[in-house]
Structure 1
Amino acid sequence: MRLDKFLKVSRLIKRRTVAKDVSDQGRVWINGRDAKASSAVKVGDEIAIQFGQKKVTVKVELLTESTRKEDAAKMFTVLKEEPYKNED
């Protein structure tokens, strides 16, 4: 599954276009590597997302093409949330 679609279906990011923009800005990493919107996501991958001053790391648990709001949280497990420190 594409990264932008996973972020939208899992409701980590509300809109696919926003997920694409965030990915293309270099604010998403899969298993420690920079990820683009078209990057493939597999079960077991760790995805880190920078939301402003916060960095959230999740583990992919389930891939489905569509999901109900109640079931979206089953698609991932939050591993850690931490303040984001810009390394520039």
Structure 2
Amino acid sequence: MRLDKFLKISRLIKRRTLVKEVAEQGRIEINGSVAKASSKVSAGDELTIRFGQKILTVKIQDLKEHVKKEDASSLYTVIKEENIQQPTRHE
């Protein structure tokens, strides 16, 4: 399955166009390699996504063409969620 489709179905990122933008900025990795929106993902792959001040690492558990909103989180397991600290400026 394509990365953009998986992220939309799993609701990690709501729109495929947004996945494309984030991927083009090099903010998505699959198993440690920078990914494109069209990259293929499989069950067992590890995704790392940088959202602004947060880095989310998930492991893909299942791939489905359609899933109900309340079941979307069953497609992945969150491995790590960390906040990126902004450097503080001392004046």
Q: TM-score band, normalised by the shorter chain?
A: over 0.9
Deviations 1:15-52 (A, max 9, x none): 11111111111000000000000100000000000000
Q: Distance in 2 between matches of 1:84 and 1:30?
A: 20
What residue is the counterpart of 1:32 in the other structure?
32
SS in 2 for 1:82: strand
List, as ranges, runs of 4+ consecutive aligned residues in structure 1 with deviation greater than 2 Å: 83-86
Residue 7, structure 1, aligned to residue 7, structure 2: yes
Tell me, which stretches of 5 or more residues in structure 1 are unaligned?
Answer: none
**Which has the larger Rg?**
2
Q: CA deviation at 1:70?
A: 1.0
Give, as a single letter, the amino acid of the residue that structure 1 aligns with 2:42. K
Contact 1:54 1:83 (C-alpha < 8 Å) held by counterparts: yes
Tell me the percent identity.
60
TM-score by length of 2: 0.90
Aligned residues: 86
Give, as a single letter, the amino acid of the residue that structure 2 aligns with 1:68. K
CA RMSD of the aligned region, Å? 1.3
Tell me, which stretches of 5 or more residues in structure 2 are unaligned?
Answer: 87-91
